Structure 1
Amino acid sequence: MDSSERQLYQNVVVMRHGDRIDNFEPQWAAAAARPWDPPLVEAGKVRAFCTGRKLRGQLGFRIHRVFVSPFLRCVQTAAEVVSALCAVDHDGVDPNHLTSQGVSIDPSKIKVSIEYGLCEMLNREAIRPNVAPKDGKFSFNISELAAMLPAGTVDHSAQKVYSELPRWEETVTGARARYMQIINALADKFPSENLLLVTHGEGVGVAFSTFMKDVTVYEVEYCAYSHLRRSISVGDKNSFTAGDFENLIPKGQIGIRYYPLSTTEDDPLV
Structure 2
Amino acid sequence: MDSSEPKTLPDHQNVVVMRHGDRMDNFEPLWVTTAKRPWDPPLVEDGRVRAFCKGRMIRAQLGFPIHRVFVSPFLRCVQTAFQVVSALCAVDDSPSAQTSDDVSIDPSKVKTSIEYGLCEMLNNEAIRPRFSPKDGDFGFNISELEAMLPAGTLDNTAERVYKELPLWGETVMGARARYVHTVQALADKYPTENLLLVTHGEGVGVAVSAFKKDAIVYEVEYCAYTELRRPIVHKGQSFTVGSFEVLTRNGQTGISFCPSTAAVVDDVDGMA
Q: TM-score, normalised by structure 1?
A: 0.90
Give, as a single letter, the amino acid of the residue that structure 2 aligns with 1:28. Answer: W
**Cα distance, 1:157 vs. partner?**
1.0
**Cα distance, 1:232 vs. partner?**
1.7
Pick closer, same or farther for the CA change 1:236–1:67 going to 2, 3 Å.
farther
State how 1:137-176 maps to structure 2 within 5 Å.
137-176=137-176
Give, as a single letter, the amino acid of the residue that structure 2 aligns with 1:102. Answer: D
Query: d(CA) in 2 for partners of 1:46 and 1:224?
Result: 14
Q: How many residue pairs end up in the alignment?
A: 255
| Correspondence for 2:49 | 46
State how 1:72-91 maps to structure 2 within 5 Å.
72-89=75-92
Query: d(CA) in 2 for partners of 1:71 and 1:140?
Result: 8
SS at match of 1:50: helix
| Correspondence for 2:16 | 13
| Correspondence for 1:217 | 217
**Cα distance, 1:159 vs. partner?**
1.2
Query: d(CA) in 1 for partners of 2:80 and 2:99?
Result: 10
Query: d(CA) in 1 for partners of 2:242 and 2:138?
Result: 36
Residues 209 and 217, structure 1, Cα contact 8 Å, conserved in 2:
yes
Residues 250 and 257, structure 2, Cα contact 8 Å, conserved in 1:
no
Structure 1, unpaired ranges of 5+? 264-270
% identical equivalent positions: 69
Give, as a single letter, the amino acid of the residue that structure 2 aligns with 1:60. Answer: G
**Cα distance, 1:147 vs. partner?**
1.1
**Cα distance, 1:210 vs. partner?**
1.5
Aligned-residue Cα RMSD (Å) equals 1.7
Matched, 1:246 2:245: yes
Query: d(CA) in 2 for partners of 1:236 and 1:31?
Result: 61
State how 1:48-197 maps to structure 2 within 5 Å.
48-89=51-92, 92=93, 94-197=94-197
**Cα distance, 1:223 vs. partner?**
0.2
Query: d(CA) in 2 for partners of 1:191 and 1:199?
Result: 20
**Cα distance, 1:262 vs. partner?**
4.7
| Correspondence for 1:267 | none
Query: d(CA) in 2 for partners of 1:113 and 1:233?
Result: 28
Residues 224 and 254, structure 2, Cα contact 8 Å, conserved in 1:
yes
Pick closer, same or farther for the CA change 1:56–1:250 going to 2, 3 Å.
farther
**Cα distance, 1:257 vs. partner?**
1.0
Structure 2, unpaired ranges of 5+? 1-7, 263-272
Give, as a single letter, the amino acid of the residue that structure 1 aligns with 2:190. Answer: F
SS at match of 2:155: coil
